[in-house]
């Protein structure tokens, strides 16, 4: 059951990252450093989601993957909160985005995955 939840959370994080990346092309009408940074944030989110899926699959046999996933989740949780506050995200946006990252952090800390 928890493996399915972890897979869902990892998949949702990847989806969120893809939406974030694609939104860069809708939000910015010029190719500039702000647009590149926004798009790179989406790539970072996708990579965090992929690390969680790798941890789910291989974390028990590859402790480095587990620690990388934990580190990425903690870092992305902090960045999600900081970006949400700095960008005046709505309460719902902040809860969804930070909630996904908090859930991934909690799941990555579970010993059966790592």
Proportion of the chain above pLDDT 90, given as a percent? 73
Mean pLDDT of 36-49: 95
17-33 residue pLDDT tens: 999 999 999 999 999 99
Distances (CA, A) of 51 to 8, 60, 71, 86, 90: 13, 13, 10, 26, 27
85-96 residue pLDDT tens: 888 788 898 888
Mean pLDDT of 50-70: 94
Give this prediction's pTM.
Answer: 0.90
Residue 94: per-residue pLDDT: 86
Mean pLDDT of 22-51: 94
Residue 91: per-residue pLDDT: 86
Backbone phi and psi for residue 9, each to the nearest 5 degrees, phi listed first: -60, -45
How large is the angle between the packed helices 2-27 and 91-108, nearest 10 degrees?
A: 140
């Amino acid at each position: 059951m928890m493996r399915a939840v972890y897979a869902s959370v990892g998949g949702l994080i990847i989806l969120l990252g893809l939406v974030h990346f694609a939104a860069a092309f809708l939000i910015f009408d010029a190719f500039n450093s702000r647009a590149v940074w926004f798009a790179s944030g989406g790539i970072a989110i996708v990579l965090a989601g992929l690390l969680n899926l790798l941890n789910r699959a291989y974390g028990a046999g590859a402790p480095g993957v587990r620690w990388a996933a934990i580190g990425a989740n903690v870092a992305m949780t902090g960045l999600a909160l900081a970006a949400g506050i700095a960008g005046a995200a709505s309460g719902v946006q902040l809860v969804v985005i930070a909630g996904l990252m908090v859930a991934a952090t909690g799941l990555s800390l579970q010993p059966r995955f790592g």
